[in-house]
Structures are given as structure tokens and as C-alpha cells.
Amino acid sequence: MPQLGLLPGRAWAALLGQLLRPPRVVCLAAARSHSQVAEAVLASQLKPHQEKSNFILKTPKGTRDFSPQQMAVREKILDTIVSCFKRHGAKGLDTPAFELKEMLTEKYGEDSGLIYDLKDQGGEILSLRYDLTVPFARYMAMNKLKKMKRYHVGKVWRRESPTIVQGRYREFCQCDFDIAGDFDPMIPDAECLKIICEILTGLQLGDFLIKVNDRRILDGMFAICGVPESKFRAICSSIDKLDKISWKDVRHEMVTEKGLAPEVADRIGDYVQCHGGLSLVEQMFQDPRLSQSKQALEGLGDLKLLFEYLTLFGIAEKICFDLSLARGLDYYTGVIYEAVLLQTPAPAEEEPLNTFGEKIRTTETQVFVATPQKNFLQERLKLIAELWDAGIKAELLYKNNPKLLTQLHYCENMGIPLVVIIGEQELKEGVIKLRSVATREEVAIKRENIVAEIQKRLFES
Amino acid sequence: MPQLGLLPGRAWAALLGQLLRPPRVVCLAAARSHSQVAEAVLASQLKPHQEKSNFILKTPKGTRDFSPQQMAVREKILDTIVSCFKRHGAKGLDTPAFELKEMLTEKYGEDSGLIYDLKDQGGEILSLRYDLTVPFARYMAMNKLKKMKRYHVGKVWRRESPTIVQGRYREFCQCDFDIAGDFDPMIPDAECLKIICEILTGLQLGDFLIKVNDRRILDGMFAICGVPESKFRAICSSIDKLDKISWKDVRHEMVTEKGLAPEVADRIGDYVQCHGGLSLVEQMFQDPRLSQSKQALEGLGDLKLLFEYLTLFGIAEKICFDLSLARGLDYYTGVIYEAVLLQTPAPAEEEPLNTFGEKIRTTETQVFVATPQKNFLQERLKLIAELWDAGIKAELLYKNNPKLLTQLHYCENMGIPLVVIIGEQELKEGVIKLRSVATREEVAIKRENIVAEIQKRLFES
């Protein structure tokens, strides 16, 4: 099967034609005069805070910009995650940021109030997506697909109150991997858990544990404890808070807010404080009350099978059966899981890496084009175009006559490893000076060999 | 300077800590039971169209899903674009999907009405971003930055009427590259044009041309033609439509809707129908009326300098000075540009590649793990975990007892090049069969050498 790059020009153009906007004109927003952006910036800066509208420069509550440093880290994280999804054969999918509001309502239970609605400006009533799962289900249904293994990396929006739930953002990125379809039980679930292990290991976050439970075990437990069926979901959502608030507070919420009898709450308490490995699954099979529930037995049977597959995958010791794991959303019906880090990551700081005396590169520039002389812009431009055309990542200063020291300092600050230097002398001799920023060594290379020499050095490093 | 991958564990964890949500718990939405998603899908599918709410499965007007095929193409496009931005030393940046509404109003002139507002649900008044430029300016101002070369790839939203402007979407992706700061004139602009050339060449879209103009030339032209200054922006926005509607229609709009005197419109018409290379710039310098405008002369001077740099970059023949190029938005003040394809891409079709008998791979799977026998799930699971752990992209069917033919057909359909086959015989002999899907050749490889053999084959192909 031909790869995309091997497609004949016409096929490629046809495909691109589908994606371009508008059909015939390629309008690259990529290009805009620097001076105009500078002016826009200036205009914003000139607007004094105390002006008529009391205008404040900020991002909306609960949202944030990603600075180049944070982007460099995020890119590495997403690379790790997406590579893993692709290693497991997932297809990519993307859906719009908003959906018809009626598509989203009634899907999220108590959390529906956290959905961002768009203003009614005429036409359809829309809301920002709350997760990537409901859009996936909508895509499947719309296209009448019965099975699909897909990944989707994208932003979702939730109007959470940052004062209540510390550390949560109202805009954040989700990385979903789903296997939809009708398969033999627990094989896809085992793969999902394997994926979590691979990703968390790849991210080097330190030791972790994946809690698993089953909604049917929870429901069975609720039933035998005496929770009325109409309260299952509400009680589930209380239990789900056990990783954030204490059992005492959860019990209080269940009794006073959700109207559960205190003795029922206490029976639940006995279970939800249990966690362990396969042996706890076996133990629950023997539990005189829980084993009365057909639902719970089904869930326990699946968990047992799951542990068998996890052992074959070599990850059973990373998995913990935890009866307190509930997950808040209504659409969970079977096995559920959630990973927790066992060590707390170091506290977040403004510029974390400076604490460790390290620097993250925010660009990938490999070569800087410098000159020690005035009026050498033309030579620098000719040279840098040669580098770009050879695929080399290169920069220069946008000045007619920059100082050599300024140029070399820029390289050190930005972590650019190589500098090519062209001046009167070099031009006369038909050479370019190639300088290593780290060692400060300089060698003269014949002009016609400079691209090859740079590529050799970059390949070796 | 250390690369990110070389950071000591603590530094890396600190950085990650900043990006995780909530701080201590890694909640991987990536993992969700397949059966639950299947159920969600089923639930959506079961809801009949004629039910109470008259529920229709669709994406909002003017938006679309990206199918795995389209995603494969888009990934390739964005790779080409982002690689180019990085080759030119740009830093990455990301901003929230919405901004404070007051940040966006008055920035887009006539187009402000196309902004999507969020519903007032208490708190700040918000709107979806209309482009990536104003958020960039806001970021610069907020962080008191004076210069920055950044790229930003992200979605923007505009409430355009698809019936009026054919082929436009209300949600679409912009790829911005901006050089903000105070530099010597035209050096950054020349680089932006070089970038457009590199990207359009890299995308293999066929021949193209980049139109350039300068807002000061336009303003000077308006002044000497007799347009009242208060009407400059409105007339600009009419001129901007010349690539979509005829001069006659633009003239009509200027006279009847914008209230321009007909003889003024005709004077404008003489200019906006001019286009050419550097020689047209020289000619306009000599134009008896246009050379009366100081503004226009400034613009022409910059364009002349720009052409000098473009010649050094070897792209001057791709650039066309076009007096009809206006660009609609208010924030353009200097040089403006826009690329056009000279051939029309083949018409967009539902599955364009089938027309050419070609197939796009929607996954990157390299190896499929198969068995000819029943009850071999355990061996398949052990084997595939080995492949994954070696970084090999591998899949299997989620069935206890799939048929061999079904498994081999899956490989052919999905374009997976290699199959490893394990059965009773292989297990006994301590080998795995390695099969090439294209040639159907099979060889037996010692179990302990299978990973190395696969890696060798993948490296060679």
C-alpha cells in the first residue's frame, strides 16, 4: 500500500483540495507583516488600564496561555502519548469544539451544569464539548459505525469553580483512546491498562498505581447495602469524591444531601475502604452479602479475567482493585480505572527549571548565520536561504548591522549549537567560518562544502 | 544545553507537575472501557429521530468532523507547516479558545459581527477567538514582551454564512507564524514570504503566486483618488473582495453601499487592475498622481527593498505586486500578502483517493499478531506485549478464537505489512512464523530473535 508521501500529485492535490479553505485560494494566515503585529501589540499596551472600559489584560478565569517553555514540555508529553496510541493501532479523529446543546444535555448527570453554552445569536443552540467521549459516540452513530479504535487529543471546557476544586482548569487537554465495538470481554480493557502503563512509564513521572473497579460491583454493593436504585448514580458521584475528601465528609454528603439512611452509609463504608490485588477479587467472590448480587458477580468475574490478561502483559503488580473508585459520569457501566502517582511531583513553580539550573530550549535552531562586518546583510540572506533549502534550522538577526557579540550572545542564550560566520576575508577566500558555540572552536570551510559539513556535524551530535 | 529528554527526573517531574490536572492525580481520560463507549454509541443510535425532541445527529452548521483518512492527510500537512516554522526558529505558543469579549471587539471592523459569543452564565463575558493574532498581541502585552517569533497552530471560529461565502467553514484551523518586534525593514517580511514558498512547495500543491501590496500604498491611492479618509477601511474591505467578485460588483458596492462618488470609484479601478513584478513597483514610483502621496512612496520604497531580499532568497519570480490586494482586517497597516494557487486542485470528493485506486493508511501498525488455532489468546497476548515493549506498532483481534483468514484479511485491508503467526507447532519448536503480507512469504524465526528480526525488516523497508 503506498504511503501518503508516495501519492501521485493529482491524488494529493485532490485530497488537499478537500481540506483547503476557501476551495481555490490558499490563504496562509501564517504570513503577516511583523510591523503590523507589533502595532497591534503596541495598541493593546497603550490602552491604559484606567481608560473608559477599565480594560484588564488577562486570560478568562480558569484558563491560561502556554508559554514557549510550557509548549516545549507539552509537545514532548503529547508525543509520548500519541506515539503510544499509534503503537496500539489507533486511528486519529477530530470533532468540532462545540456540539448541538441537546447532544450534550442529560449525558453528564450532576455535571451538566458545568457545560459552557454559546450565546443564541440566531440559528442552532450550541455548547462547548465537555469531553471527547460524547462527540465520539455522536460520530459513531452519525456514520453508523459499529466498531472503531480511535485516539483524540483535544481541548475540552468545563465551568468548574477553581475555588472549590483546586488546581483544575476550565480549559484543558484530554487525550482519549477508545476501543468501541463488540469483542470478547476484557481484552480491550487489558490493552487500555497496558497503554496507561506505557505512557506513565514513558513520561518518567515516578511510581504509579492504576485503581480498577467495576460499575456492576458498585451497583451490586449499593443494592445489598440497601441503597434505593433511584439513588445509585447520586451515591456513585459521592463515592467518587473519596480521593479528594475524607470518608467522614463523603458519608455526611450521602446522609444529609442525598438522603441516605446512616446505617446504609455505614455498610457502604465497610466496602469502599477495601483495596488490593487479585486476592481481593477472590475474597469478594466469597463475601456472603456481595456474592448475593448477580451484577456484582459478573463484575468480579470480569475483573478476574482482566487480572489474568494483565499478568500476561506483565503489569499486574501495577493494578489495584479499589472498591472506592467510582468515576462520576453516568456513561460508565462496566470496568472503570484511574491512575494515581505514588510520589507527589515537585511543587509547580513559575520557572521550574531554573530551580535546577537547567534550561529548556524553546526553539530547535541548529545554526546561526552571523557576520562581524557592516553591510553584509545580502551575504547573510543568500547563505541562510541555502541552509533553509537544505532543511537546516537556521536563524539570523533582523538587523542590517548587528554587532558580532550580540549575535554570539543570542546563540548562547538560545542554546544554538553552531554559528556560521561570513565577512570580507571569508568572502575573498571563498570560505565560511564554522564555530561551535560550546567549545568556541572555529574552522574555515569551503563555501561549497558548508551545507554538507553542517549536516555531518548535526548527524554526529 | 541539555535537551528535554536529558533532564534529571526531579526537574522533569516538576515541569510535568505544572501541566498535570489536578496536581497529584494523573487522571488519564485515555482509558475507558470499550463496552461503555459502545453503550454510549448504542444509546445514541437507539434514540429514534422522531422521538420527542426531534433529535438529529449532526455537527453544528459550518463545522465538520475529521475522519481518520482526513486526519492522516491533515497530520501530514501540519507536519510540513510546523517543520518549516521550526526551521525558521519560531517558538511555540498556545492560548485559550476564548477571550474576554472586550478584548476582541473593535479589532475586526466589519467582521466583528462574525464573532461567536459565549452565553452569560455568570462571571466574565467571553467570546471564541476569531483569529490567533489578537490573542498573540494580548499575550505580548500581558507579559510585557517587545519581540517574539512564534508559531501557533489552532482552531478559530467565525459565524460566516456558508450560503454567502462558499466553501468556508465556521470552525477552521489557522497556522500562524509572526515575527513581532522592532527590526530593520523588510527582513522579517522577506522571511515570511520565504516561509510561504517553502510550505507551498513542500505541500506539492502545484504552481502558486504570492500577491503582495502595502496598506500605505492603498491608503495613498485612496487619498489621491478622492476617497474621504473616514471611508478608507470600508473601501479597503470592498477592494478585498476582488478575488471573489468582479470589479463591476465591487464598484457597485462602493458606490451604492459605501456611498463613494462614481468617478472616485473609477479612478480606483484604474489602479486596482494593475499587477506585476518589481517593474510595476518602479512604474508606480513614476506615476504622476500616486507619487504625490508620501504614504504611497513609503510603501513603494519598502516593496522595492522587499524585492531585493526576495531575489537573494531566490523567490522573486513567485511574487506579484498586486494593487487589488487589500486584506479585510483593520489591523493590517504595512506590507500585506496572500498566496494563490495557479491550478485549481481537483474537485473535492467524498473519498478522493478511491478515484485514483489508491489508499491512505489510517493507522501506522507494522505487525499483526495472528494465530491459526483456538485457545491461543494467552500466547498472542504475551507476544504482542513483547512487541509493544520493544516499540513496535502491533495489533491483534480482540477475539478469543478468531479465524486465520479473518486475521489475514484485516492486515490486507489495513495495509499492515507484517504478520507474526503463533500456533501449536511453532510453540513446540520454539519459533514464530513471520509473514510478509505483500509477498505472502513465510519464514520461521526463533522465538528469542523475533523482535530483532522484525526491527531489521522495518528498518530495511
Full DSSP string of B271-334: HHT-EESHHHHHHHHH-TTGGG-HHHHHHHHHHHHHHHHHHHTT-GGGEEEETT---S-TT--S
The reported pLDDT for the residue numbered B27 is 39
pLDDT of B38 higher than 90:
no
Residue B312 has which C-alpha cell?
Answer: 537573494
Cβ contacts below 8 Å, chain A against chain B, sum to 598
pLDDT at residue B104 in the model = 87
Choose among B114, B148, B143: nearest CA to B131.
Answer: B114
B12 band by pLDDT with thresholds 50, 70 and 90: very low
Chain A residue with the nearest C-alpha to that of B365? A89
Rounded to the nearest integer, the mean pLDDT of chain B is: 86
Among A118, A125, A85, A123, which residue's Cα sits nearest to residue A101?
Answer: A125
Q: Do B314 and A385 touch (CB under 8 A)?
A: yes
- Cell (9 digits) for A162: 477553581
Task: Write the CA distances from A35 to A12, A52, A67, B152, B183, integer angstroms.
Answer: 35, 27, 22, 18, 8
What integer is the mean pLDDT of B101-125? 88
Chain B residues inside the 8 Å CB shell of A82: none
Task: Find the length of chain B.
Answer: 461
How far apart (Å, rounded) are the C-alpha atoms in residues B351 and A25? 22
Place of cell 478476574: A304
SS3 A208: strand
Is A140 in the B-facing interface, judged by CB distances under 8 Å? yes
B262 backbone dihedrals φ, ψ, rounded to 5°: -55, -40
Top pLDDT among A39 and B189 is at B189
**Could you give the C-alpha distances from B320 to A16, A135, A325, B388, in angstroms and in order?**
24, 44, 64, 52
User: What pLDDT, on the 0 to 100 scale, is given for residue B362?
Assistant: 96
Decide if pLDDT at B329 tops 50.
yes
Task: Give the model's pLDDT for residue B4.
Answer: 33
Please list the ranges in chain A whose pLDDT falls under 50: 1-13, 15-18, 20-35, 38, 42, 45-46, 48-52, 348-356
Identify the pLDDT of residue A56: 82
Interchain pair A40, B189: CB under 8 A: no
| Residue B352 banded pLDDT, cuts 50, 70, 90 | very low
Give the pLDDT of residue A83.
98
**Least CA distance to B184: which residue of chain A?**
A399
A455 vs A415: CA distance, rounded Å: 18
CB atoms within 10 A of CB B88: 23
Q: How confident is the model at residue B125 (pLDDT cuts 50, 70, 90)?
A: very high
- pLDDT per residue as tens digits for the range B129-164: 999 999 999 999 999 999 999 999 999 999 988 655
Sign of CA dihedral A248, A251, A257, A262: negative
Query: CB B285: neighbour CB atoms within 10 A?
Result: 15
B/e letters for B392-402, b = 16+ CB within 10 Å, e = fewer, are bbbbbbbeeeb
| B37 → chain A, closest CA residue | A180
Partners of A153 in beta bridges: A175
**Nearest-CA residue of chain A relative to B379?**
A312
Q: Give the Å distances, CA to CA, from A89 to A83, A229, A316, B270, B416.
A: 10, 40, 23, 59, 10
A316 touches chain B (CB under 8 A): no
DSSP code string of A274-312: -EESHHHHHHHHH-TTGGG-HHHHHHHHHHHHHHHHHHH
Give me the half-sphere count of Cα atoms (radius 13 Å) on the Cβ side of residue B169: 19
Using the Cβ of B1 and the Cβ atoms of chain A, whether some distance falls under 8 Å is answered with: yes
- Option in B13, B30, B362 nearest A346 (CB): B13
Which helix (DSSP H) or strand (DSSP E) does residue B81 occupy? helix B68-87
Q: Looking at chain A from residue 345 to 384, which residues have their Cβ under 8 Å from any Cβ of chain B?
A: 345-349, 352-353, 355-356, 358-365, 377-378, 381-382
To test the contact with chain B by mutation, choose from A84, A87, A333 the residue with the greatest count of B C-beta atoms within 10 A, namely A87
Pair A78, A175: CB distance under 8 Å: yes
pLDDT at A93: 98
Q: Which residues contact A391 (CB under 8 A, 6 or more apart)?
A: B87
SS3 B122: coil
For position A28, what pLDDT does the model report? 41
pLDDT for position B287: 95
CA distance B257 to chain A (A): 25
User: 208-227 in A: which are within 8 Å (CB) of B?
Assistant: 208
Give Cα B9 distance to the centre of its chain: 34
Work out the number of other CB atoms within 10 angstroms of the CB of residue B350.
Answer: 7
Residues B346, A13: C-beta atoms closer than 8 Å: yes
Q: Do B393 and A87 count as a contact with CB atoms less than 8 A apart?
A: yes
For residues B244-251, average pLDDT: 92
A342 in contact with B, Cβ within 8 Å: no
Q: Does B458 touch chain A (CB under 8 A)?
A: no
Partner-chain contact A67 B93, CB within 8 Å = yes
Instruction: Give the list of residues 6+ apart from residue A209 with CB closer than 8 angstroms, or none.
Output: A318, A319, A320, A339, A340, A342
Residue found by looking up cell 466498531 in the block:
A147
- A30 — contact with chain B (CB < 8 Å)? yes
Tell me whether residue A355 is exposed, middle or buried, using C-beta atoms within 10 angstroms of its C-beta: 0 to 12, 13 to 18, 19 or more: middle
> How many residues are recorded in chain A?
461
Sort out which chain A residues have CB atoms less than 8 A from B382's CB and list them: 312
CA distance A134 to A137: 5
What pLDDT is attached to residue B225?
95
> Residue A219 contacts by C-beta under 8 Å, 6 or more apart in sequence?
A232, A293, A295, A296
Q: Chain B partners of A18 at a C-beta cutoff of 8 Å?
A: 70, 73, 348-349, 352
Mean pLDDT along residues B82-96: 98
CA pair distance B8, A270, nearest whole angstrom: 42
CB contact under 8 A, B22 and A165: yes
Nearest to A96 by CA among A152, A58, A40, A38: A152
Minimal Cβ distance to A353: which of B11, B99, B134:
B11
Contact assessment for residue B28 and residue A339, using Cβ atoms and an 8 Å cutoff: yes
CB-based contact A169 B67, cutoff 8 Å: no
Q: What is the pLDDT of residues B254-302, one digit of tens each?
A: 999 999 999 999 999 999 988 899 999 999 999 999 999 999 999 999 9
